[in-house]
Structure 1
Amino acid sequence: MPEGRWETMKRLGRKLGYVVIFFLLMMIAGVTAYLGIILFGSYAIDEKDLVMKETTSIVSEDGSELTKVFTENRESVPLEQVPEHVQQAFVAVEDQRFYEHTGIDFRSIGRALYRDIITRSAAEGGSTITQQLAKNVFLSPERTLMRKTKEVLIAVNLEHRYTKDEILEMYVNRIYFGHGAHGVQAASRLYFGKSVEELTVEEGALLAALPKGPNNYSPFQDKERAKERRDLVLRLMQEQDYITIEKMRAYQGKTVPAEQHSVADTPAYDAYVDLVLQEMEEVHGITETAVLEGGYTIVVPMDPELQQRSYETLTSPENYPDAAMNSGYALLDNDDGGILAVQGGREYVRKGYHQALRPHQPGSAIKPLAVYAPALETKSYEPYSLLADEEMSYGDYSPGNIDGVYDGEVSMFEALQQSKNAPAVWLLDQIGIDRGKEMLSAQGIDIEDEGLSIALGGLHEGISPLEMASAYRTFADSGLYTPAYAVQKVYDRSGELTAEHKPEKARVMSEQTAWYMTRMLESVVTDGTAQAGSTPTALAGKTGTTNEAADVWFAGFTADMSGALWMGGAENRESVSSSLPTALFKEMLPPDMSWTAFEQPEDVRDVEEPIQSMTAANLQAEMNFGLFGSSVTLSWEAGEDDRVHYRIYEVSGEERELVEEVEGESSYEVDRAGYFSSPEYVVIPYNPQTGEEGEATNRASTSLFSQGG
């Protein structure tokens, strides 16, 4: 081969080698760049960031949604739930080549880059749906070339990791639609009051029109601009063959919504929601932030009608005789302690000072809990046991009855019914302060006080309405205490049960004591200090008033529910009394309740109606003669109550000997009386409830030589 030709071939070979090397280097560089993109994107992507903040729903026991709590109002939905025409609307306006590119649309980028160079700014968008998702999740909103570069790298990586449907699903659930609505489901409810699967084509087009400028294109801000933007989306859908031109024109003829559908919660539920958030953290270990962002479904025992009714009652200015007065209220289910309704104050605001949880001085509302029930538990006292009703001093403490009237002795029944102070303090002194405190503690009320003033509610801290309601519920549940609760079940965003309330009941008092207390407290409502207002059913309860009516209470229970209402803080207290919370408590009970009497448990003794009077007068004695001896018939005028016992005594000088005791009778025959002896007799009425004797009758005697009285 000629030398010249050989040199030519060598030069061609070297050039070909260079070309091969060049292409190999280009391939290596391309692969390296792609791997770099994937590696950088993988480094920049934290999949935890893709878990969206979701709205938590609070629902009733029957599954009805009551309210929502959130930091971002969002309900994530699977893409299958989003109608195809709604998906098409987003693709048409935001990224028409979405299903063709791999995260970057070079045509759009080129156009945007050209305009950025011309304007010497990074003002042009041109981002794909995937890029928008990358920007919204992982990057700051600043407009710089560096951020744009990161956006591209992350977008390519997202396309590498996820399918198009998965990316579109994350996008429609992530984007902001204005007015606090995040995601297509929340937006659908806000703008149209319906779930996303019910959206029509023109409604879906309006939602797709919003992400570019939620405030600018909101129909609630500018109807004309919103309609123009929606109609543009419809035109793009027609140009991309998603709809026909005829349907486009029909849809463009539709109006845009003018009325915003509320996503805000009723203020009637605010106090209950705060209680739920507190219980979620303290009992179930789920922080408030986790609740607000976690997409939970929380089942609560709230009765919406009772919650609303109590809100309207306790926020009405007409129910407060003084402008400074406030209130706190709790109502529980007797079955398991579930909170049916709770109100935190007259003008309660979320995360405010919750008056239903704040301790207040209880006044006489504490007497059943700290004095009378503990006394009955000793079995040394019964409802008609006599208690001292006198002015007494206990060291430096000298309690007195409010009316200044003292009867010397009074039954427990009457002392409770009329809310007498002296007998309550005397009784606590007899049974011991520790016994009263132990019963309070067993019901979740721990106090540090050590004085007899506990009997009248003079506490250092006080008792909250929720604590009071829970303690009174113990009477309704036959002596079993159950802590109140506001969270029944908790489901996570995937529908898995993550927490559940498990009722725990503890025996605090016997069924007999609980029934005695129920009967006595029922008499407080019918004949005692709690007669104010009217009730649709049997009600038992107790009033409470502190010095100068700074605090006034009613705590009580029906066969189905137990509750407590505190009111206080009035500056002008002349017209304030416990009659106010008593009447309002009754008013807040369900108006459609049928009359339901309290059901007496088996093997429990009932409390009789008190014997109001016992008299015996005009005793007569008559001698009766017989073959084998004589007898004396005694007769007297008996009182109307045939439960009164009559004790017949034979009297000799100043001494008397019991002959017999009869019940409800007005005569008695003394057998084997002597012909010539002349004993005297008296009859004394006796109250078997209190163990108290009344006044004796006149003396009467008879013999063979002396008859009559």
Structure 2
Amino acid sequence: MADRPRSKTAAKQKKKKASGRKWFYGLFFTAVIAIVCGIIGYLLIILNGERILAENGSKLDFGEASIIFDADGNEISRLYNAEENREVAEFSEIPEQLLNAIVATEDQRFYEHSGIDFFAIGRAVVKDVIARSAVEGGSTITQQLAKNVFLTADKTFFRKATEASIAVALEHQMSKNEILTMYLNRIFFGKNIYGVKHAASYYFDAELKDLELWQAATLAAMPKAPNRYNPIKNPEDSMNRRAVVLKLMYDQGYITAEEMEQAKAVVYEPPAHIEENTGDPYPAFVDFVVDEAIEKMNVTEEELRIGGYRIYTTLNQQAQKSIEKQFDDDDNFEKSEDERQVEAAMIIIDHRDGTIKGLTGGRDYVKKGLNRVNVTRQPGSSFKPIVAYGPALESGDYFPWTTLANDKKCFGDYCPYDRWGATPVSMTQAIKDSRNLAAVWMLNEIGLGKGKAFAEKLGFKITDNDSNLTLALGSNAATPFQMATAYSVFANGGKSVDPHSITKIEGKGNTTPYTYKAPEAKPLMSPQTAWYLTEMMQTVVQKGGSGARAAIDRPVAGKTGTTQFGVRGSGVRDAWFVGYTPEWTAAVWMGYDKTDENHVLDNGSVQSAALFSKVMRDAMKGVKKDAFKKPQDVQEEEQPPAAIENFNAVYLPEEAKVHLSWDPLPDGEVTYEVFRKEASEPDFIRFVDSLETSVDDMSAFPGMTYQYYVVAYDAKNDRKSDPSPTITVQIPETEIDIPEIPMEPDPHDPDGGEATDPGNGGELPPDEGETLPPELPDGTDPGGGEQPSTPTIPPDAGGDGGTGDGNAGNADGGAIDGGITQGTGG
């Protein structure tokens, strides 16, 4: 019987089995090859690490110090890994809680892995894929030690591979305790401090072995970001990070919940006498540069310090030295009742290109470590141009000469205090005197929304809590850096300014990993608005202005600001002056870090303005003088009538009147307003209005002295001329002759004496006695006219209305800029 052909189904099954075997063997051999490659790679890693350790022995490679240069290319600082700032600790000195804190925070599986934690690497990869960016690292403590001891900071694949190989080799040659000890002796703790032993001494004035749990957690929090989590420089961030460390320790069973909560609650207080740890000049500026470089380069501070970078900055040493000279002079600051001194901060920016010329974060920056240039305070009246007057001018409905009819004293439940009262005032005069009511009225008129939007364009964040009319008086939070940046926009014709301290960073091999590129300037307000603000704020530093003491030998525009402590102010909490020349902008803040009833300022922004003047005068020596540039299409204020000329006042005795005359004004239709004051009266009154160039005063009394002046008033443009010179006229005494009336002898009087009227009490009949002039009622003109009851004060009578140049505790046009019941003003 012939063979029957196999079915198609059987053929398919055989083919499927053959295909399955191929896949199986393929996968098997692929896995074998992968395992072999992995083993070979692992062996190569171990061998490479062993080779590096053998070649270097016990040598520690600290890397190459990065160097910082000023704007002229002069070296100002080296970011050393200074051995003199390292104290080596033995393992027996390190408290167990510190070891636990470091392991819980940096490498939870430290005691389980052999240098490389593949589980942590896998977890990091998954998180990075989910986040689509590098959000978590997988380096072990041993890898971090390998990098810090033997490698530079370049971020390359080969460096990471070498780091891993050294870590494995270290694990083969050293115990876990030895690795931990070396690591803790290598950690950078900010302030040029290396190693936990020196850090314990510096930050807590304590022996390493005596550290408490909260102190150990504070130190364990720092390796991730020594600058950000520095308890002296950033106490709040440090405390928050400490809480994270404690929570990790609790989760891993190292501490109890009660221990965790107690350690969280401790508030850090720096030791009374923190030693200075660096001899570098300009520490505040250097720290500012380091922060900026870390951000721009996306590296850690440790990597920046040992990376061998050359960092070129914008520092002007003349400006920086001027700042530090004045901040070192105790006479520039009020005296404190105790060791807590008045603090201050200042920053100078060239608004033409955004370069930061100099700054300081405090009077003793190295000791305190807190850069107050970036600390928020309430800006007081220095915020008025930003939130009230600036947006009003930008609307096109208001101008510097606009009269602010601020007749309201309360706005709903809010009643700002203003020593000037609710009298109408021009916007220029309001900003010169720093009048509170006018600023609040102005913000209320334009609307809070417009004010907030304008301020936010200038870089301020206005919270919901700040969204009320107190914002006009600077009730919000702002830093000196923000205030200087905002005023730089005024000075720069309304265009944005990008403040920066670094121009470029060079790496090894002539590479340039970072070069500053200025962003395109954006118009944040019209050039006209910026000019009006500049024009108005120049009056602030003139005689009678609230910031008169800020004047220097070149044009200056600026604004004072004060905030009160307590209701209606029992002292000043914050004192500001923010100002600019045509070339540079600067912000000055003064106050106590912690304000209470015993730690407040008395003199407000007077001293802030004076400090601005002292610093800028020396800082700007040699800087070519410029002038504020007036843009096109600026509306001009209608000019007032010309002043009265040839004013004359003379008494005419024969007509018993004072005759006043003056030359007519050649242009325009004006009314002449004549003002008069009797010598004993405090104020002038508007005596009469006239269209003619002469008037007579018929109400002058004998023996009295009068003063007169004349003002021309243009009703069409609502403008007045300057007052004429004041003339004094003395009215001579006039004797009145009273004739004797002969008396007839009384025929009934046997003695021939004077006649008497028994019905009149012995007095003469009324029509036979003396004839006397009628007695005038008070305020009544003999000619029948009623004198005005409200005196009007001429512009030159009663002072200039400001603080003047004195030093008697006056600030911002008043004791405290008029003040504000909510605690701000100025």
TM-score, L = length of structure 2: 0.47
1:375 maps to: 392
Deviations 1:575-624 (A, max 9, x none): 42211010111100143357835232341437669859988999xxxxxx
Q: 2:480 aligns with which of 449, 461, 465?
A: 465
1:587 maps to: 614
1:70 maps to: 80
CA displacement at 1:646 relative to structure 2: 3.5
Deviations 1:160-198 (A, max 9, x none): xxxxxxxxxxxxxxxxxxxx999xxxxxxxxxxxxxxxx
Distance 1:666 1:72, change over 3 A: farther
CA distance in structure 2 between the partners assigned to 1:447 and 1:314 by the alignment: 31
Q: 1:60 aligns with which of 70, 81, 89?
A: 70
Deviations 1:653-708 (A, max 9, x none): xxxxxxxxxxxx999xxxxxxxxxxxxxxx971278x745799xxxxxxxxxxxxx
Task: Say whether 1:546 aligns with 2:540.
Answer: no
Matches within 5 A, 1:141-540: 266=279, 268-323=281-336, 324-349=341-366, 352-401=369-418, 404-406=419-421, 408-448=423-463, 449-459=466-476, 462-504=477-519, 505-527=521-543, 528-532=545-549, 534-540=551-557
- 1:353 partner amino acid: L
Q: By percentage of residues, which structure has more strand? A: 1
Q: 2:579 aligns with which of 556, 576, 580?
A: 556
Task: Say whether 1:42 aligns with 2:48.
Answer: yes
Local SS of the residue matching 2:509: coil
1:577 maps to: 604
CA displacement at 1:533 relative to structure 2: 5.3
- 1:541 partner amino acid: G
Distance 1:636 1:340, change over 3 A: same
Local SS of the residue matching 1:563: strand
Say whether the 8 Å CA contact 2:439–2:473 is kept in structure 1.
Answer: yes
CA distance in structure 2 between the partners assigned to 1:612 and 1:524 by the alignment: 25
CA distance in structure 1 between the partners assigned to 2:663 and 2:622 by the alignment: 43
CA displacement at 1:345 relative to structure 2: 0.9
Distance 1:73 1:436, change over 3 A: farther
CA distance in structure 2 between the partners assigned to 1:311 and 1:390 by the alignment: 46
Local SS of the residue matching 1:546: strand
Distance 1:267 1:320, change over 3 A: farther
CA displacement at 1:489 relative to structure 2: 0.9
Q: 1:603 aligns with which of 609, 632, 635?
A: 632
CA distance in structure 1 between the partners assigned to 2:622 and 2:311 by the alignment: 28
Say whether the 8 Å CA contact 2:409–2:422 is kept in structure 1.
Answer: no
Which ranges in structure 1 are unaligned for 5 or more consecutive residues? 1-36, 75-135, 139-145, 152-179, 183-262, 619-634, 650-664, 668-682, 696-709
Instruction: Choose 353-362 or 437-446, whichever is displaced more.
Output: 437-446
CA distance in structure 2 between the partners assigned to 1:520 and 1:638 by the alignment: 33
Which ranges in structure 2 are unaligned for 5 or more consecutive residues? 1-42, 85-148, 152-168, 175-191, 195-275, 565-570, 648-659, 673-690, 694-710, 723-826
Say whether the 8 Å CA contact 1:363–1:456 is kept in structure 2.
Answer: yes
Deviations 1:207-243 (A, max 9, x none): xxxxxxxxxxxxxxxxxxxxxxxxxxxxxxxxxxxxx
Q: 2:590 aligns with which of 567, 583, 586?
A: 567
- 1:65 partner amino acid: E
Distance 1:73 1:43, change over 3 A: closer
TM-score, L = length of structure 1: 0.55
CA displacement at 1:383 relative to structure 2: 0.6
Distance 1:646 1:551, change over 3 A: farther
Distance 1:286 1:493, change over 3 A: same
CA distance in structure 2 between the partners assigned to 1:350 and 1:287 by the alignment: 24
CA distance in structure 2 between the partners assigned to 1:265 and 1:687 by the alignment: 69
CA distance in structure 1 between the partners assigned to 2:295 and 2:508 by the alignment: 21
Distance 1:267 1:586, change over 3 A: farther
Distance 1:378 1:558, change over 3 A: same
CA displacement at 1:328 relative to structure 2: 1.1
Local SS of the residue matching 2:372: coil
CA distance in structure 2 between the partners assigned to 1:377 and 1:302 by the alignment: 34
2:110 maps to: none
Say whether the 8 Å CA contact 1:385–1:691 is kept in structure 2.
Answer: no
Say whether the 8 Å CA contact 1:337–1:485 is kept in structure 2.
Answer: yes
Deviations 1:289-338 (A, max 9, x none): 22112111111111112112211211322222133311111110121111
Q: 2:714 aligns with which of 653, 663, 686?
A: 686
Distance 1:638 1:68, change over 3 A: farther
Say whether the 8 Å CA contact 2:641–2:721 is kept in structure 1.
Answer: no
Distance 1:542 1:609, change over 3 A: farther
- 1:44 partner amino acid: E
Deviations 1:363-412 (A, max 9, x none): 100011111111100000011001024452111210121xx233621100
Local SS of the residue matching 2:629: coil
CA distance in structure 1 between the partners assigned to 2:294 and 2:489 by the alignment: 26
Pairwise CA RMSD of aligned residues? Answer: 4.5
Local SS of the residue matching 1:66: strand
Say whether the 8 Å CA contact 2:643–2:712 is kept in structure 1.
Answer: no
CA distance in structure 2 between the partners assigned to 1:307 and 1:486 by the alignment: 13
Local SS of the residue matching 2:78: strand
CA distance in structure 2 between the partners assigned to 1:286 and 1:325 by the alignment: 36
Distance 1:388 1:279, change over 3 A: same
CA distance in structure 2 between the partners assigned to 1:666 and 1:482 by the alignment: 56
- 1:309 partner amino acid: S
CA distance in structure 2 between the partners assigned to 1:67 and 1:611 by the alignment: 59
Local SS of the residue matching 1:454: helix
Deviations 1:272-296 (A, max 9, x none): 1221122223344232222112111
Deviations 1:416-449 (A, max 9, x none): 1111111110010111112111122112111111
Instruction: Choose 268-277 or 469-478, whichever is displaced more.
Output: 268-277
Distance 1:284 1:612, change over 3 A: farther
CA displacement at 1:483 relative to structure 2: 2.7
Deviations 1:432-470 (A, max 9, x none): 1121111221121111111010111112xx111111011
CA displacement at 1:519 relative to structure 2: 1.1
Distance 1:338 1:686, change over 3 A: same
CA distance in structure 2 between the partners assigned to 1:41 and 1:604 by the alignment: 77
- 2:489 partner amino acid: T
Distance 1:574 1:474, change over 3 A: closer
